[in-house]
Every structure is written in structure tokens, then in C-alpha cells.
Amino acid sequence: MPYCKSCGEEVPAGASFCRKCGAQLNRGAELVLASWGERFVAWLIDMILLGVVLAWFRLPGFNWVPMMWRGTVPHWVPFVDFGFKNAVYFVYWTLLEGTYGQSVGKMAMKIEVAHLNGGSIDTVKAAIQSVGKAFLLPLDCVLGWILYPSRQQRLFNYLSETVVLRKFG
Ligand SMILES: [Zn+2]
């Protein structure tokens, strides 16, 4: 369902004014949220891709990197996972989504991370929203489902003022 850029109210597709705040809705003013299903498939594609990348770090000659990582980060915090693979996820999403608004999975699904107003995000916003999905994904999603259902935000989408939108054209 599209929503109004000004107040966040859901609007019927093709409406010319927002019923709640009266803002004019021209083409491009209404943003269409990606569904949780589309986002899940995009995530799955990213996980498969990153799984291949991470397999390299189990080879002799590379496996000292995760070993060293394990020695330096806490691994007892509940709900939080600071493993080496999580750090790789974080860098991957921050760089790709900070640069293109899309990871490889999101490109495949034709969805993108955007600012609440539909504009593109910078690396800082990309990094903030990546913290949640890289290091504390289940909690990030569950809190988002409970607290921010109207724009389908994870907690760290909310904190970074980002949404995931369908990308047209
Ligand atoms: Zn409105």
C-alpha cells in the first residue's frame, strides 16, 4: 500500500490528495513499501552469497582472521551476535546499500533501502540500519513488527529513518 510522504498515512494508489493531511500526491509522492516476504527473499539471496564468501575464511591461510576476531569481541551478550560472519554482513550491507541503496538480494528483488521521504540514503544511515540486521536480527525484526507496523520498519530502520521500498524503473 502506498503512503503519504508528508504524514505517513496510507493512501489509495493513484489518489491526488492525502485524506489525512491534505498534501498533494503527484507521481512519485506515493511510496510503495516492499513486503516482508520480498525482503526475506532478498535477505536469503544475500545469505547464500555471503555463505560462499565466508567459506573462504575456513581455508588454511585465511582462517586466522575469524580466529583473531573471536578473541577480541564479547560473545556472551543475549540476543546479540558479534561473530566474524556478522561483521562481514555489516560491512557488506553498509557498503552496498550505502552506495546503491541495494544489496545483491535487493537488486534481484527490485527493492531498495530509502529515506522515509523516498530519497537515497548515505553511508551513515546505511550503517545504522545494518547494525540491527547484522548483529541482532531476530530482536530487530520482532521489535519492529510490534512497534512500527505502519511502515514495516525494523527497529534499526526506525532509528535510521529508513524504509524498504519497491523500486520502479
Ligand atoms: Zn498526508
Q: Say how many Å lie between the CA of residue 4 and the centre of ligand 1.
A: 5
Tell me what pLDDT residue 57 has.
Answer: 92
Average pLDDT, the chain: 90
CA distance 105 to 45: 5
Note the pLDDT of residue 21: 84
Q: Is pLDDT of 28 > 70? A: no
d(CA 164, ligand 1 centre) in Å:
19
Ligand 1 centroid to residue 81 C-alpha, Å: 39
Please state the rounded mean pLDDT for residues 39-54.
Answer: 97
Cα of 121 from ligand 1 centre, angstroms: 22
pLDDT score at 30: 67
Residue 136 Cα to ligand 1 midpoint, Å, equals 33
| pLDDT-based confidence at residue 165 (cuts at 50, 70, 90) | very high
pLDDT at 70 over 70: yes
Spacing, Cα 28 to ligand 1 middle (Å): 14
Nearest to 151 by CA among 140, 164, 160: 164
Q: Average of pLDDT values for 39-60?
A: 96
What does the DSSP assignment read for 129-143? HHHHHHH-HHHHHHH
Ligand 1 centroid, distance to 33 Cα (angstroms):
16
